[in-house]
Amino acid sequence: MKVNLLKKETSLIRSVAEAIRDPFFILDLQGMVLVSNASGRNLLGVSQDSVQPFGFLQGVAPEDQGRVQRDFQEIEEGKEVRFRIRVKQPTGGEIPVLFLGMKEEEVCFITLRDLREQNKAEEEWERAKKEFMEKARERDQYSRELQVMKDLYKEKLKEVKEMKDKVEVLSYTDELTGVCNRRFFIHLLTLETERQKRYPYPLSLLMIDIDYFKHYNDSNGHLAGDQVLKAISGLIERAVRHTDIVARYGGEEFAAILINAGKEGAVEIAERVRKNIASAHFPNERAQPNGKLTVSIGVATFSPSFTTSDAFIREADNALYRAKRAGRNRVEE
């Protein structure tokens, strides 16, 4: 009768053990495996037949066996233990696990939790964190470089304005309007284009052309035309941000480099430029074909496909031509 009850109890214990998802073992106080589930046998690489005489320490990595022996003493004292160890694989590898142990009467209940996925996730997190910190460092470095460049440009422009040497002034600024000249504009745009290859950030370009300016010059004379060019350059500078760079590209055409401005922001700035000029009053402008002095503006936002500053300018020029063909006094992107 007692034998039958013992068999039933053992069968019940095995059934409960098999229902446990994590590797599970019941050990005697000498560390010998009495019961294990399939997950436990698979982890240690032993068969059901061979697991019974199997000493649990045989499956533990040599460098962790001392730790397990010490903590077995705490289990025998009735304490619950929890620590990380590595178990050996038949193929020679090792698997990191979380060891959970407790004593119940004269046996020890041991659960092992596979930490490979957790360790992998932690490694991925550390790698992602390292990459993020590196990107943040590069971004901060670029921000500092960009600020230095802006500061240098402003300082240089201030020096240029204070210089009495006209030749030096003309090397940076347009003699008539006082904004950047074409040569300096091309130089700055080339620097920004090259910088995009290392530190991408929003960058846009405006190409601005005065509508029917030849008609105004022919009707009012070149001196009046020069005054219009000065006035319009000032209106453009007041409409853009203080960090933007305005240049006279040639004749009646102006350009503006918009640093840290995407397409939406660039279109908004371009509309502000257009409205400022359209609402201003110029001498004899009623004789213009459209009754006012206005500008057409092409907007381009930097794309990785632009390998040179010429490609960037060409994109903005194409948008400007669309604005002209669409009736002038408008912004096209």
> Quick count: other Cβ atoms within 10 Å of Cβ 178?
18
Claim to verify: residue 157 and residue 217 sit in the same structural domain: no
Claim to verify: residue 138 and residue 212 sit in the same structural domain: no
The residue from 129, 162, 195 where one domain ends is: 162
Residue 155 pLDDT: 74
Mean pLDDT by 10 residues, the chain (333 residues): 40 56 82 81 69 72 84 81 83 83 83 79 71 75 74 67 55 87 91 86 94 93 93 95 92 94 95 95 91 95 90 95 95 93
Residue 26, phi then psi, degrees to nearest 5? -115, 125
Claim to verify: residue 298 and residue 319 sit in the same structural domain: yes
**pTM exceeds 0.85:** no
Claim to verify: residue 51 and residue 135 sit in the same structural domain: no
Structure tokens at 257: 């480099």
Claim to verify: residue 255 and residue 178 sit in the same structural domain: yes
Report how many domains make up the chain: 3
The residue from 82, 114, 146 where one domain ends is: 114
d(CA 296, CA 271): 10
Claim to verify: residue 63 and residue 134 sit in the same structural domain: no
Claim to verify: residue 188 and residue 308 sit in the same structural domain: yes
Which domain CATH number covers 223?
A: 3.30.70.270
Claim to verify: residue 93 and residue 121 sit in the same structural domain: no
Which domain CATH number covers 28?
A: 3.30.450.20
Domain, as residue range, for 104:
2-114
Claim to verify: residue 73 and residue 10 sit in the same structural domain: yes
- Using alpha carbons, select from 108, 109, 111, 91 the residue that is nearest to residue 100: 111
Residue 121 pLDDT: 63
CB 252 within 8 A of CB 262: no
The residue from 84, 114, 144 where one domain ends is: 114
Claim to verify: residue 149 and residue 169 sit in the same structural domain: no
Claim to verify: residue 66 and residue 170 sit in the same structural domain: no
Claim to verify: residue 43 and residue 138 sit in the same structural domain: no
